[in-house]
């Protein structure tokens, strides 16, 4: 028994590790999502959690603040994302980078990886210089690209999620694809996913050798919260009267902080333990949460009450999100119309190959409808994009509808091009009326498997835009 106690004292997790684990469980309380291979879509998904946790994770019960921020910026000109900006400011003012040290699942994962026995890289001038990279990631991938793309195309491009985020790859894509029920989603993957998976592996390897490599060098959420560190309510504070400037706190700090509480500090508490004069404490305002204050002076009953309440809250969340609920009722049919969120009215067109296209026969498929004309130069330029989309995803339907204004033999024109799509001439304007189209070409409409419009807009598209629209319509994991 004594040996067991000795081993437990040497290996028991710290309070911070337990809080990190608690946060990871609370963010991902929908545990049955991992078993069913489904993403939770309840009302709590409209709320942001403080740490980096992918919206598409099967267990996630809240939204990722970075993903919400990118979507809010992409909506510029259409609406203001006051909630997202407000909640990020609230998290920053209340917690600063304490979120990184105590409430981020990716932080916990990085520390577990660093625990693998290998030679470790220390910190120095190079790592301090690299710590500025995350601010460039914040400026470019989180702010500039989503904002610019949204203003130009009227649709979101969450660039950080799409091109880099390891949480999205691990929790979202791998979390969904590891379930046999989602085997069909493998057909949706391409080079973008491969690049992100390689990035995930490289980041994981870096974390093995370098403490919290992603957090220190690449994470834009940490960069954002770091801007609030000096004014945050909760964080490590220095008692200037006790401090003698020995620098033991900075030497012990595994981050690239130059001073206690600066932009790189995550309030992990290592500096608190390193200070021989008891000059540093983790505080919430004037209240000392961890530090030199004698244990006898700390309100034990209050601490026990907080722990009990936190445990009860976690148990309640796990029960609420995982117990079988009432039988699901069939979702009501969407209103018929051509706007996003409405169900496109059924229509029938004779195809140029002699067969007939009826929209209702393609329920269960993602459907792309493109209005074009041979005399429309942008239409002709983008048609190979639709051809490549269909070739890469044979499970979808792509209908190219030529305008009723015909200036040449469309069938002969197409025979020369060799595009392998379903083509029709809209002589009765059936498609034009169904999608509420106009003479402005080209126009693209995208329907999900229920025939509901997810995109309806005039203007040219590209391979990248079509892939994004396909992912949106099919509910595929982020590439």
Contact 210, 177 (CB under 8 A): no
Query: Alpha helices of 165-219 — where are they, by DSSP H?
Result: 166-167, 175-177, 191-209, 213-217
Please give the torsion angle defined by the CA atoms of residues 33, 38, 41 and 42, in that order, rounded to the nearest 10 degrees: -30
Confidence band for 159, pLDDT divided at 50, 70 and 90: confident
Q: What is the pLDDT of residue 153?
A: 66
- The residues, ordered by sequence, that sit 6+ positions from 398 with a Cβ below 8 Å of its Cβ are 367, 368, 370, 386, 389, 390, 421, 422
pLDDT per position as a tens digit, 355-405? 999 998 998 899 999 999 888 888 888 999 999 999 888 889 999 999 877
The Cα–Cα gap between 107 and 17 comes to 10
Q: What is the pLDDT of residue 398?
A: 96
Domain definitions of the chain by residue range: 9-227+301-322, 234-293, 348-474
How confident is the prediction for the chain on average, in pLDDT?
86
The Cα–Cα gap between 277 and 48 comes to 39
pLDDT per position as a tens digit, 54-74? 988 999 999 999 988 887 776
Tokens 């994009």 appear where?
Answer: 385
Model confidence at 131: pLDDT above 50: yes
Enter the pTM of the model. Answer: 0.72
Model confidence at 29: pLDDT above 90: yes
**Following DSSP, what letter does each residue of 33-78 receive, concatenated?**
HHHHT----SGGGGSBPSS---TTSTT--SB-HHHHHHHHHHTTTT
Contact 85, 72 (CB under 8 A): yes
Q: What is the pLDDT of residue 165?
A: 94
Q: What is the pLDDT of residue 184?
A: 65
Class of the domain covering 234-293: alpha beta
Confidence band for 330, pLDDT divided at 50, 70 and 90: very low
Instruction: Pick the range with the lowest mean pLDDT from 30-44, 153-167, 284-298, 379-393.
Output: 284-298
Model confidence at 9: pLDDT above 80: no
Interval 113-119 mean pLDDT? 95
Q: What is the pLDDT of residue 327?
A: 44
Contact 153, 465 (CB under 8 A): yes
DSSP 342: S
Q: Is 284 helix (H, G, I), strand (E, B) or coil?
A: strand
Lookup: tokens for 419: 């595009």
Interval 112-129 mean pLDDT? 94
Q: What is the pLDDT of residue 215?
A: 96
pLDDT per position as a tens digit, 173-196? 888 888 887 776 676 567 778 899
Alpha carbon 110 to its chain's center: 18
| Ramachandran sector of residue 260 (left: φ over 0; alpha: ψ -120 to 50; beta: rest) | beta
The Cα–Cα gap between 376 and 437 comes to 15
Q: What backbone phi and psi angles, to 5 degrees, belong to 234?
A: -105, 135
**Following DSSP, what letter does each residue of 14-29 receive, concatenated?**
PHHHHHHHHHHHHHT-
Lookup: tokens for 17: 């590790």
The CATH number of 348-474 is: 3.40.30.10
Proportion of the chain above pLDDT 70, given as a percent: 91
Q: What backbone phi and psi angles, to 5 degrees, belong to 12?
A: -65, 145
Lookup: tokens for 232: 């945050």
């Amino acid at each position: 028994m004594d040996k067991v106690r000795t081993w437990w004292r040497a290996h028991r997790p710290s309070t911070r590790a337990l809080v990190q684990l608690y946060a990871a469980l609370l963010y991902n309380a929908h545990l049955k999502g991992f078993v069913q291979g489904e993403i939770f879509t309840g009302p709590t998904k409209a709320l942001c959690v403080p740490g980096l946790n992918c919206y598409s994770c099967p267990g996630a019960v809240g939204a990722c603040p970075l993903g919400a921020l990118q979507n809010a910026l992409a909506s510029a000109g259409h609406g203001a994302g006051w909630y997202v900006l407000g909640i990020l400011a609230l998290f920053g003012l209340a917690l600063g980078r304490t979120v990184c040290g105590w409430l981020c699942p990716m932080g916990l994962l990085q520390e577990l990886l660093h625990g693998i026995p290998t030679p470790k890289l220390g910190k120095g001038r190079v790592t301090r210089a690299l710590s500025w990279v995350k601010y460039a990631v914040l400026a470019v991938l989180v702010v500039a690209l989503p904002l610019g793309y949204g203003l130009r195309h009227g649709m979101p491009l969450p660039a950080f999620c799409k091109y880099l985020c390891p949480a999205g790859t691990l929790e979202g894509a791998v979390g969904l694809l590891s379930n046999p029920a989602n085997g069909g989603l493998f057909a949706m993957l391409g080079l973008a996913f491969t690049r992100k998976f390689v990035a995930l592996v490289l980041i994981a390897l870096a974390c093995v050798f370098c403490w919290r490599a992603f957090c220190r060098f690449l994470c834009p959420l940490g960069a954002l919260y770091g801007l609030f560190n000096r004014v945050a309510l909760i964080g490590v504070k220095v008692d200037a009267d006790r401090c003698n400037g020995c620098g033991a706190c900075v030497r012990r700090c595994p981050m690239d902080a130059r001073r206690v509480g600066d932009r790189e500090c995550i309030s992990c508490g290592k500096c608190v333990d390193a200070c021989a004069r008891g000059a540093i404490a983790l505080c919430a305002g004037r209240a000392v949460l961890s530090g030199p204050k004698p244990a006898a002076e700390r309100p034990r009953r209050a601490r026990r009450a907080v722990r009990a309440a936190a445990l009860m809250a976690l148990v309640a969340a796990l029960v609420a999100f995982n117990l079988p609920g009432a039988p699901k009722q069939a979702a009501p049919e969407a209103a018929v119309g051509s706007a996003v969120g409405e169900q496109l009215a059924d229509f029938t067109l004779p195809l140029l190959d002699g067969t007939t296209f009826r929209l209702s026969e393609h329920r269960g498929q993602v459907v792309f409808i493109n209005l074009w004309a041979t005399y429309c130069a942008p239409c002709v330029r983008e048609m190979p994009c639709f051809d490549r989309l269909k070739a890469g995803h044979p499970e979808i339907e792509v209908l190219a509808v030529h305008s009723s204004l015909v200036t040449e033999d469309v069938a002969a024109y197409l025979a020369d091009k060799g595009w392998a799509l379903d083509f029709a001439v809209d002589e009765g304007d059936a498609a034009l009326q169904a999608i509420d189209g106009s003479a402005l070409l080209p126009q693209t409409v995208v329907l999900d498997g229920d025939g509901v419009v997810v995109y309806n807009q005039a203007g040219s598209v590209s391979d990248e835009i079509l892939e994004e629209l396909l992912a949106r319509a099919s509910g595929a994991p982020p590439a």
